Amino acid sequence: MTAYELHNIKVFRQQNCILDIPSLILPKSDCIALFGDNGAGKSTLLDLLAFIKTPSEGKVFLSGMPVTLPLLPAQRCKIGYVSQHPFLLSGSVSDNIRLALKLQNTETKRHPRLIAEALEQVGLTHLANQAASTLSGGELKRAAIARAISYHPEILLLDEPFSHLDQSHIQSLETIIAQLADQTETTVIFSTHNRLQGRALANDVINLVDGKTTKSPLINVYDGTLKQAIFDTGKLHIHTNSMQDEVRHVAIDPHEIIVSHQAIRSSMRNQFQGRIISIAEEANEVRVTVDCQERFHAIITHSSLHELKLELGQSIWISFKSQAVSVF
């Protein structure tokens, strides 16, 4: 069962295509991270998924059903949405949650219990009667999440939930999101520009670059042009197995890049010599950054690092198959 299906989606802003998704299926009961730089189209995509905006072209299906706006109450109650800069109306935190419950036609007698549950889930029980206008940034985000989860939506959409928060608030919010994602039947989709956060919390990551989705991790992304399966970055030629013309970006999965001291005689079409400029630990693995005119990031294990005796400044070869190159 799918939470969303998107077909031939295009969103234009002043004649510029800011979102172009030929096909995207988001499964139910998953925790999905939308990863991309600022302006990549994450908020636009979430607005579409929250049915706050309509696409210029294409169709969005919710739980397998085509959707027309305004949403039916039975469809709207499935979605909880927290924007990047959440807005709380005047009144207390409880008043805001009560408003959401009223608008969702929840029975009035259930309100006190649902409000208490939602506030407890985000750890804001002590601020139930505090004026929303006096909340700090972290409290405001948690209050907005409480409001969005109060009516138990099947899908929770969170736009940049960790932005502008200090470390302690980020950790508590990560715990809340992880708990919500663990709940059966709840699909959590959140956007972030922090790749590690995305990978740590989500079991699926969708990458957005210039309004286009890609499954490849957004490191080793290069801009350029593709001609006869060879992508020209302006500095390097990367072999791909794509014959498309309208390609502006390629990405190489850092796990697919092989690091060696010598050039390897193999079927790998892409081999470049460069210099190690960074070695860093990342999520129990090691990221080696090699400057071969373009910078490539390779993820290797700790044991490989020791066996190869890699050091900063060392001259080294990287190799990857044309199949490892995603084009979009």
Considering only CA atoms, give the Rg of the chain: 23
| C-alpha to C-alpha distance for 117 and 175, rounded to whole angstroms | 16
Q: Does 225 bind another protein (CB under 8 A)?
A: no
Where does this chain touch another protein (CB under 8 A) — which range of 32-40, 69-77, 117-125, 228-236? 69-77
- What is the spatial distance between Cα 130 and Cα 250, in angstroms, rounded to a whole number? 50
Strand spans (E) along 95-248: 155-158, 187-192, 204-209, 212-214, 221-223, 225-227, 230-232, 237-239
DSSP lists the bridge partners of residue 10 as 20, 57
Q: Which is nearer to another protein, 151 or 231 (CB)?
A: 151
Task: Select 58 or 86, whichever has its Cβ closest to another protein.
Answer: 86
| Interaction of residue 100 with another protein, rule CB under 8 A | yes
b vs e for 143-176, b when ≥16 Cβ sit within 10 Å of the residue's Cβ? bbbbbbbbbbbbbbbbbbbbbebeeebbeebeeb
If binding is defined by CB under 8 A, does position 141 make contact with another protein? no
Q: Which stretch binds another protein (CB under 8 A): 6-14, 72-80, 257-265, 293-301?
A: 72-80
Rule CB under 8 A: is residue 81 a binding residue for another protein?
yes
Query: What's the 3-state SS for 81-128?
Result: EECCCCCCCCCEHHHHHHHHHHHCCCCHHHHHHHHHHHHHHCCCHHHC
Q: Taking CB under 8 A as the rule, does residue 47 contact another protein?
A: yes
Residues 93, 109: contact at Cβ < 8 Å? Answer: no
The pair of structure tokens assigned to 238 is 């990367």
Shortest gap between Cβ of 313 and another protein (angstroms)?
50
Residue among 104 and 194 whose Cβ is closer to another protein: 104
Rule CB under 8 A: say whether 12 interacts with another protein: no
Binder among 65, 89, 243, 280 for another protein (CB under 8 A):
89
Under the criterion CB under 8 A, does residue 73 sit at the interface with another protein?
yes
What lies within 8 Å, CB to CB, of 287 at 6+ separation is: 254, 278, 279, 280, 281, 297, 298, 299
Residue closer to another protein by CB (options 18, 71) is 71
Least distance to another protein from the beta carbon of 90, Å? 5
Q: Name the one range near another protein by CB under 8 A: 99-107, 214-222, 250-258, 298-306.
A: 99-107
Q: At its nearest, how many Å lie between another protein and the CB of residue 101?
A: 9
Under the criterion CB under 8 A, does residue 79 sit at the interface with another protein? yes
Residue 64 contacts another protein per CB under 8 A:
no
DSSP 73: H
In the three-class reduction of DSSP (H, G, I as helix; E, B as strand; rest coil), residue 207 is classed as: strand
Which one of the spans 25-33, 97-105, 109-117, 187-195 is the region binding another protein (CB under 8 A)?
97-105
Looking at the Cβ atoms of 96 and 207, the one nearer to another protein is 96
Q: Site map for another protein, 110-139, x if CB under 8 A? A: ---------------------x-x------
Are the C-beta atoms of residues 235 and 225 closer than 8 Å to each other?
no
Number of Cβ atoms within 10 Å of the Cβ of 69:
8
CB atoms inside a 10 Å sphere around CB 236: 15
Candidates 28, 76, 248, 287: give the one binding another protein (CB under 8 A). Answer: 76
Which chain residues interact with another protein by CB under 8 A? 47, 50-52, 70, 73, 76-77, 79, 81, 83, 85-87, 89-90, 99-100, 103-105, 131, 133, 147-148
